[in-house]
Structure 1
């Protein structure tokens, strides 16, 4: 009788996990769907984007890629 309860509990847990994953998948799809529908004007984007911070991040990424390229070049030798 104990084994029956465990199998029922296991199925129940598996069903709950499956249901939860399906809900997450649906939420991800809804977020993607609605984010694609939104249009932003140039003024809205300019207001939302911190241009100074964006430039800093781009400079950091350029530095990183340059150092990575030199490391890769040194690796080949």
Structure 2
């Protein structure tokens, strides 16, 4: 049972694949270049906002912490 005393964070196991923005991709390449197995640029659809995304495959699975609401 969870108590309501402050914020609760949960860690989720993320498979070896991610879809990230260009800014996030650059940060990943700068910090963990060896962990990126492959990357593919996915251009934006005509009329949509943004500049597209990168679908990346990592050599290992990772955990990401999220605020549980």
Q: Computing the radius of gyration over CA atoms, which structure comes out larger, 1 or 2?
A: 1
Structure with greater helix share of residues: 1
- For CA contacts below 8 A with separation 6 or more, give which structure has more relative contact order: 2
Q: Shorter-chain TM-score: what band?
A: under 0.3
Structure with greater strand share of residues: 2
- Given the two structures, how large is their TM-score scaled by the length of structure 2? 0.20
